[in-house]
Structure formats: C-alpha cells, structure tokens
Structure 1
Amino acid sequence: MVENLESRTDARVALLSLRNIENHVSRSHGYEFEDTILEMDQADLIAPEAIQSQRIVTGIKNRLSYRSQAARYLPTGLKQVELGQDYDLFFYSIAQLRDLNALDAVRSWRERSASAICWIQELWIAHLDQHAALLERLNEFDFVICSFAGTAEALKGRLKVPVHAIPWGLDAVHFCPWPNPPERAIEALGIGVRHPNTHAALIDHADRTGSYYSYETISGRAEMTDYRAHRKNYVGQLQRSRYFFSYIAKIERPEERALQTEFGLRYIEGMAAGAVILGSKIDSDAFRKHLDWEDSVIDVPYDCAEIDKVIESLNAEPERLAAISQRNIVTCIERHDHLDRWRRVLELAGLETTPQMSARQIKLDELEALAQGVSTSIAAS
C-alpha cells in the first residue's frame, strides 16, 4: 500500500518523523524539534504508519540491519509514502541508527531532494563497529550532524560525507518560566537513575525540612500516550524546581560510553527552565564551549550522602541562587533554542532563513528582556 503525501504548495523541506511509530519518552525532544521546525519553515511532515499485521517485519529488519546492508531490501513493515514534489531539503533527526530503516518507506526521497541532512541525537563511539552496515547508509546524505562531539570526530574518519558536531537544542520559549514564573515548590527534582546514598539523604532532608523532593518511582520501558502532554508535564516540573540533578551521560552504564565524556540534553533542559543544576561539571571541550558560564553546574558527586548540607549551604545564598537561575535562562535563550540549531541546518543546505524564524527571534528577545529585568523566584523564602 502506497500513500501519496499531501504537500504544501510552498513547501521546501521534507521532514521525516517516527512519531506514529515510536513512543518512548526519550523521543519527545526530537518530536518537539520537528514541531518547532514546522512552525519556523515551509515543511511537509512525513510520518509513516506501521502496518499492524507486519510489526514483526519491522523488528526483523531492524535487527538484521546492524549486520548487513542487504537488510535494506527487506520489507519495512511500514506503509509506503510517495513524495508529491521535489524539495530543497530532506531532513531527518534520528534517535538511533536503526531509525535509518524507515527511509525505505519513503519512495525516491533522495532523488526528490536537492540536499539531505541527517541529525543523530545519540551514538557512542564504542558502538560504531557494531553498526557498520547502518553507518554506510549515512553516506546517502549530504551532511551528517551528531550531538556528541566525540562521535562526530570519529565519524569524520568513517563516512564519505561531512560530519558536524552540534549540541542538543530545545524549545526555549516553552521552557522559559517567563512571563508568568510559577513558585519553585519542588526543592529538588531527579529524573532517571540516582545513587542510593544521595537518594536516601534527599528523602531524609525532605522529611526533616518539610520540603518536596520529586523522583522516579517506576522502572522499565516508559512509553508516552501523548508526547506533547509528556513534554508539557516535564517542563512544568522543571519550572517549579529549585534544584535539578544532571550527570555525565550513562553514569551507571560506563561500558556503553567507555572513555567518552558527553553531556546530555538534561543539562540544557534544567537550565532553560531556570533550575540550579547539581551534578557533573564535565571535563570536555564541548562542555566548556557550550555550557561555560558561571555556576552553570554546581559540581556535586553522584554518591553524595551529604547532599542535604550542599542544599542548605546554597539556600543560605538567595542572591546567588537568583543570579544562577537568571543566567541559566538567559543564556539558553541566547544559545540553545531550536532556532539556532535550525539556522545551522539551513546554512549547511545553503537555504535562506524564513519570516517565521525572524518572528521567533523577536519572541525570544522579549523573553530574554523579561528574564534579565526581573529577579527570578528561585531564591529560598
């Protein structure tokens, strides 16, 4: 079965998305990026759907694709999409290399695109040899972007096309607590893994002081019923948190990252919402380049049984806390919004910016002025 894509008359970008197929929480920021692109540019969204009776086919294709390039000739298990026109740019942001298999569901995507760019959200150097067959598919694009600086350097020696390191971005308009900043009712927020000693000390601190420590209480595969609702709920928590924990990527799975040191999007998410980041101040050129401002991260060990003393000491400096929150918000608006990332993509493709992008810049400038002109509510009362 082949579906003909309904195109905008002014569309210049074809945007491939897996939003109808993948619903793990880790995908939410990628879909947010896609939504922001749709607001900023003339783009057609290509979102293939799974053929219910062939889901097992998709799994087989994904598994075999790591071993052999011949897997691309297997059925995708997805409804085939026929592009209705030519595009100036074909853009695909992937969470994992196996996402490249969805390309086979889009007929003539390469022939109908003047340029094509793939953005890899997460890929570790230690996994490159295991994924050699899929890596070859990246050569079908004109440019490859990788959010991990170390991996980008490694890919330069393995691919035939240019590779660029560009860090994660986010919707700073959505994350910014202004113009109506809520009360910071959550003292400390932890998402995902945590060290048992730190966790126990935070629970004791909350019980003793009457403050609120928010943390994960479920494990296993976390799937979204609605990625926009998930993102809104997450942003709401961050905007109401005084402290947010963020550590070096894969802190509990060092075998996956080996000696590679990378920072994840969690840092920027917390900063953009105005939280004070407690965690790893990573010793890497990429971290120093992109998260280099004063107190961007308060260095706290992952195993920190005295985290209560750290928090109490910081709470005794309300002016410092307010300055950190303000600086985090303003710098993320200036440097880490999706607008900046999309500009870089368009530069690679040789395309001009759009009026919608200019309008977004005005909105960002307005929020920055608010954040700079008014003290934040993060300081302890």
Structure 2
Amino acid sequence: MAKTELETPTVLLVTDPPGLPCIPAQACVLELDRVIADTIACKVVHAPSEVGEHGDLPWIFTAIGFATLVADLAEYRDRISANAKVYAYVFDGFLSPKLVKIPRALRPFTSYRKLLSRVDEIFTPMRSLIAEQADLLGTKVSYMPIGVDTRLFGSDVPMKSRPIDVNGYGRQPPELSAELAQYHNIEKRGFFHHTNHMTIGALTDWVAHRAHFASLLRYSKIALAYAPEAYDPHNRFTCSFVGQRWYESMAAGCVIAGQRPSAPETSDLFDWPDALLELPDEAPEARAFLTDLASQSDHLQEIGSRNARETAERHDWRIRLREMFRKEDGIIERSYDV
C-alpha cells in the first residue's frame, strides 16, 4: 500500500525532546520512536503542555526500563483522559525488586503499581516474565520481541568489501576481546573493532551515534553476540532473552557468533540455518574459529545474505507495530510496506 499522509493524528507518542543527551541504550528507544512516528499518524509530544485537546487519543510510551516508564506516566497522568487507551513498550522488562518484596495485599497501594496498572497493555521482550509481571502489575503484559529498523541497518555491502573481520559491541568476555585485539590489531593480521558501550557517557547526538554503529555493522563480516546469562558483568539480567544486538547485526548482513540465549523463543525467532554460530568457551579456540571463518568469503556471504533477508521479512519494527496495534484501536498506519 502506498504511503498516505494523514493530517488528523490517531495516537499520541511520548518521546524525549530533540537534542537531549542520552545513554546508548536510550538511543535504541528513540530510534523506535522515530519508526513509530514515520509509520503511524502520530501527534508527537515532548512535554505535557503539548498534549492539548488530544488526551483522549490512544497513547504510546516507549521506555528502556520500567522505572523510566513510571516516571513518564507520573509526568503525563493528568493529561491522559480516563477513557484513553495507553500502550507501552519496555526494552529491559525487569520489574523493580522492591515491588516483588512488598506483600501482595499492599502492592496495589504503591505509586509504582498504580501508575503501571493504568497502562492497558505493556509489551516486553522477556517472554518468561510475562505471567509473573501481569500478576504483579494488575494489567495486561504481552510478549513482543525487540525489532530493528532495517531501513537504517540493512546493507548490500558484499563480504569481500567489508574491512572489519570481527565487530564486538557491548557485552562479551574480556578475555576474548583481548585475544582478538592482540591477534588482529596489534599483530596486524586483520581488523577487530571493539566498543564497550557500557562505558560510554551521555550521547550528544544519538542519531549520529546510531548511524555510526549501523555503518560499522554494514562493513563488518562477523558480529559477536553473547547471551545475557553467558556474560553479565553487572548482574542486571534475571532471565534469558534475545537483545537488540542480534537483530541489528543480522539486518546488516553480518554473521553472528558467540553464545545463543537459552530462552526458548530464540529457536522460534532465528529458525534458519547458521543464524547463530556457537563459539568455544576458551578465548584462543574462539579466536581461531573466528579467524578461520573470516577467511571463508563465500560461506560468509551465504550466511550474511540469509540473515539480512530473514530479518527484513520477519523482524523489522514496522512488522512489530502491526502486531502490537490492532485496527480496532483506531491506530492507523501511514504505510504498510516495510
């Protein structure tokens, strides 16, 4: 269906003001907001004063975690009409441990629970936590995997033209990072690019940051990706799940190597051949595996092309939006083409 511009908004999208510094993880949230605004006839609001007379429209909140969502709901609660539908997508769908410790009879009286229960449906990629969270929050919690903007990350750069042998962004064993840096960069046998995004401070331009990262992936042969339970230096994760990095790397046509998440949905999300290549636990053996793999251009091309194709057909954010926001809710898409 051709793109149709609609002058009348059908939904309110709450997002951060332009130019506001943010951490790298929040940039992923803002990227989703950009896709929503481009796909759905939205009135984008950056402050309660901008809501105007549209408070009775359906609302969409996006958040990196529940704490951020609670803060946003508290800020906008006086602007949300009593009969308005409210939806939220939470990337890191882990509830506050404090709520779990509060006796069941007292939870409904906490501001945390009151604010979150106002949301008609909360979407989160942590499938194993859905039932528990719905019980704790007293509202509908639904499983929805993370997606990716394939228009940004998609790539047709052939493997033979990709200078980065291995791209490591985010969490991976430091022993492997050191091994790859020594072999590829110090000994000048290739190119290993490592970014420890947990140490990056506030971004002053998240759009440029995400474009830079997408470009790095488009020119990388192999991308490292480790399950949350495999390497969690800050003890943040209470369950296994499939994070953002898998989708972004696959959309860019990279070959994914590391350790697959034990979450059962992993096999459903990536059910094609060689979608996730397991690396040996020991750093020298893992480096040897990656070095050999990086030399097989034709094999890499076959895997990378399949990864990009499957991701575009199944995991683009626009596909997720069609699944989340049904027509009966009055949320009209601008475009149905991915």
Distance in 1 of aligned mates of 2:34 and 2:175: 39
How far apart, CA to CA, are the structure 1 residues paired with 2:55 and 2:197? 46
CA contact (8 A) 1:271 1:277 kept: yes
TM-aligned CA distance change 1:182 to 1:230, over 3 Å:
farther
For the 8 Å contact 2:88–2:119, the answer to whether it is kept is: yes
Q: Which residue does the alignment assign to 2:169?
A: 191
Aligned pairs for 1:79-98 within 5 A:
80-98=49-67
Any gaps of 5 or more consecutive residues in structure 2?
A: 1-5
**Does the alignment pair 1:351 with 2:330?**
yes
In 1, the alpha carbon distance for the partners of 2:274 and 2:137 equals 38
Q: How does 1:209-358 map to 2 (within 5 A)?
A: 210-216=189-195, 220-249=199-228, 251-253=231-233, 255-258=235-238, 260-301=239-280, 303-347=282-326, 350-351=329-330, 353-354=332-333, 356-358=334-336
Tell me the alpha carbon deviations over residues 266-304 of structure 1, each in whole angstroms, 9 at most, x when there is no partner.
111111111111111222211112122211111114542
Match of 2:181 in 1: 203
Change (3 A) 1:47 1:199: same
Q: What is the identity percentage for the equivalent residue pairs of Structure 1 and Structure 2? A: 18
Q: 1: distance between equivalents of 2:197 and 2:290?
A: 25
Match of 1:28 in 2: 27
> 3-state DSSP class of the match of 1:296?
coil
**Residues of 1 paired with 2:166 and 2:313: CA distance?**
26
What TM-score comes out, normalization by structure 1 length?
0.76
Asked if the contact 1:91–1:118 (Cα under 8 Å) also holds between the matched residues in 2, the reply is: yes
Aligned Cα root-mean-square deviation (Å): 2.7
User: Secondary structure in 2 aligned to 1:92?
Assistant: strand
Match of 2:89 among 84, 101, 119: 119
Q: How many residues matched? A: 321
Measure, in 2, the Cα distance between the counterparts of 1:84 and 1:178.
Answer: 45
Cα 1:177–1:329 change in 2 (3 A) is: same
**Do the aligned partners of residues 293 and 219 (structure 1) sit closer, same or farther apart at CA in structure 2, a change above 3 Å counting?**
closer
Return closer, same or farther for 1:173/1:217 CA change in 2, 3 Å cut-off. closer
- State whether residues 121 and 146 of structure 1, in contact with CA within 8 Å, keep that contact through their aligned partners in structure 2: yes
Contact 1:29/1:170, CA 8 A, preserved across alignment = no
The whole-number CA distance in structure 2 between the counterparts of 1:15 and 1:334 is 25
| Residue aligning to 2:16 | 18
Q: 1:278 to 1:188 in 2, by over 3 A?
A: same
Q: Within 1, Cα distance between the matches of 2:313 and 2:158?
A: 20
Q: Which has the higher contact order (CA 8 A, sep 6+)?
A: 2
Structure-2 change in CA distance of 1:280 and 1:321 (3 Å): same
Distance (Å, rounded) in 1 between the aligned partners of 2:331 and 2:199: 44
- Unpaired runs of 5+ residues, structure 1, are 1-7, 49-78, 365-381
SS at match of 2:87: strand
